Amino acid sequence: MQTINDLLKVLVLDKVEENQFKGISKTVGSPNVFGGQVLAQAINAAYRTIFNGRILHSMHSYFLEAGDLELPITYNVAIIRDGGSFSTRRVTAHQKGKIIFILAASFQRIEDGYSHQIDAIKNIKPPEELASWDDMLEQFGEFLPRKSKAFLEIPRPVMFKPVDVPNPFEPENMEPYTNVWFKLKGENNKVDLATKQQILTYISDYNVLSVALQRHGSKAHWGNTITASLDHSMWYFRDFDFNDWLLYSLDSPSASNARGFARGNIYTRKGELIASVAQEGLMRPIKK
């Protein structure tokens, strides 16, 4: 996948029957299905049962089994409730006769009300002054560790520009927070809010668990630690424009019992808070 159009071909599901949909998978460098893909596809399935113009405002989910990249994923949507202002859907994702993922999503009719937000971090370097993952591959690819190089070589429809980049040759413990700019590749002028939310959810699973791991960077890395998303929650606050860069500000308040907890806020370049994310993931050291 190299553009938004390639991404949408994966995220937009085929309808099988009433309230049942099916989707394919594309690798992002992992041997298993990318969690962000399952999240976004499940939201696509839920949205396909919403006919009253309501907009997703929150979702909560659990990853139960690793997804097989070679097999289609079937999504079943249960219509839990359509109230006066809110609609609730439950989505289950299936492979090989097993439920691999569950999601609960709530949709709300558009309303006026009070508004406030927490401010974005000040004095963050703008994306124009930073190197993207593609730039890093081009400049340092011959010197990077094999797994890092292989990860960066995967074509992606999203451009990422981290504000702080760990040195893979001199690993050290870093503070448990980070900031990453991101932007879609390709034209996206005709994308509606529902579709933007699905794409944003897909992107939200990138970088999030890394911030929990970097606090232990002197000894922990992707090669000696088993990692996997366990759950993922997201709240959607405001409409936004994908044509400009967005900022993902992440921190990790805690890691314990082989689990790492991370949370993030997603801002526009102007500092408008558009969404918040929380995730707990497995971070199990591999015993020698």
Annotated active-site residue 205? The verdict is yes
Q: Which residues of 189-210 are buried (b: 16+ CB within 10 A; e: fewer)?
A: eebeebbbbbbbbbbbbbbbbb
CA 185 to chain centre: 16
Active-site residue, from 61, 87, 148, 205: 205
Tell me how far apart the alpha carbons of residues 285 and 280 are, in angstroms, rounded to a whole number: 16
Active-site residue, from 25, 132, 148, 279: 279
Distances (CA, A) of 140 to 131, 147, 169, 251: 11, 13, 12, 27
Active-site residue, from 25, 37, 95, 229: 229
Annotated active-site residue 119? The verdict is no
Amino acid at 164: D
User: Mapping DSSP to helix (H, G, I), strand (E, B) and coil, where does residue 157 land?
Assistant: coil
Could you tell me which residues come within 8 angstroms of residue 275 by beta carbon, excluding any fewer than 6 positions away? 200, 204, 234, 235, 236, 237, 265, 266
Annotated active-site residue 229? The verdict is yes
Tell me how far apart the alpha carbons of residues 277 and 207 are, in angstroms, rounded to a whole number: 12
CA torsion 260-10-90-202 (nearest 10°) is 30
Give catalytic residue positions.
Answer: 205, 229, 279
